[in-house]
Amino acid sequence: MLAAKPVKVLLDTYECNGCGGCAELCPDIFRMDETGDKARLLVADCLPLTPELAEVVKLCAQQCIVLERC
């Protein structure tokens, strides 16, 4: 089995519309802020690219989640 490629997650909070899908699918990586209006990134380190994380990027209607190679 191949190891997942490490990626760095970038979140454009200005573009975020607060739908909460990212926090629901990847609660260890994203959390909604105190007001519930915007997502916040919990992890600044490189992470393995999981199917859930790839799905979050696809589902983000605002396209405010970007993955970069580490």
pTM of the predicted model, to two decimals? Answer: 0.87
DSSP the chain: -PPPPEEEEEE-TTT-----HHHHH-TTTEEE-TTSSSEEE---S-EE--HHHHHHHHH-TT--EEEEE-
CATH among 3.30.70.20, 1.20.120.520, 3.40.50.670, 3.40.50.261 for 6-69: 3.30.70.20
Which tens digits make up the pLDDT trace of 29-39?
Answer: 999 999 989 99
Please say if the pLDDT value at position 44 is more than 90: no
pLDDT tens by residue, 3-41: 678 999 999 999 999 999 999 999 999 999 999 899 999
Domain boundaries, the chain: 6-69
